[in-house]
Amino acid sequence: MSTTPHLAFDDYLAISRLYSEYALAVDSGDWDLWPEFFTEDCTYKLVPRENHERGFPLATLLFESKGMLKDRVYGIRETLFHDPYYQRHVVSAPVVLAASENRFEAQANYAVFRTKLSRESTVFNVGRYIDVIERTPAGLKFATRLCVYDSEMIPNSIIYPI
């Protein structure tokens, strides 16, 4: 385990808020909020743990710009047909692995629960976020969000952001 980098309390608090507010936004169903957590030139990738650990490039989802995230929002609203469901994120406290004045590398574990209408809640996706966070004039934003999920088995589709 690496040593914790020197990090100002205000920066750690801002990183923690970024993680919490992200979960709140994606659980709210107000999809326009989601892309605003990212820099313009960002990467959002959802990948199984086995592929990540073996260095395989295959991803379940891969978006390489804020524009692509906005296209996904359009798809969620206008073109994807699916059984509606709610999701709820539980995210651990982030661990900051590297810090500089305007860039942070952090990780956190997550569990996403899914509730379909008239059904019980189930565990939907579990894994960890591996993030690069940048300081911008608008506050901290994800430059890279890698969602590494633990199970090789996932539902037949992942509609909403993890």
Task: Tell whether the model's pLDDT for residue 118 goes beyond 60.
Answer: yes
Residue 4 confidence (pLDDT) = 66
Task: List residues bridging with 5 in a β-sheet.
Answer: none
Q: Say which range, 4-13, 66-75, 139-148, has the weakest mean pLDDT.
A: 4-13
User: Can you tell me whether residue 124 is helix, strand or coil?
Assistant: strand
Residue 78 confidence (pLDDT) = 83
Tell which residue, 29, 157, 12, has the closest CA to residue 94. 12
Measured CA to CA in angstroms, residue 136 lies from 45, 70, 102, 112, 124 at distances of: 21, 19, 8, 28, 32
pLDDT digits (tens, 9 = 90+) for 19-64: 999 999 999 999 999 999 999 999 999 999 999 999 998 999 999 9
Residue 141 confidence (pLDDT) = 98
Residue 139 confidence (pLDDT) = 97
Buried b (16+ CB within 10 A) or exposed e, 3-18: eeeeeeeebbeebbeb
Q: Tell me what the mean pLDDT of segment 141-159 comes to.
A: 88
- The CA distance from 15 to 17, in Å, is 5
Q: Tell me what the mean pLDDT of segment 74-97 comes to.
A: 88
- The CA distance from 97 to 77, in Å, is 36
Q: Are 108 and 132 contacting, i.e. CB atoms less than 8 angstroms apart?
A: no
Residue 97 confidence (pLDDT) = 97
Task: List residues bridging with 92 in a β-sheet.
Answer: none
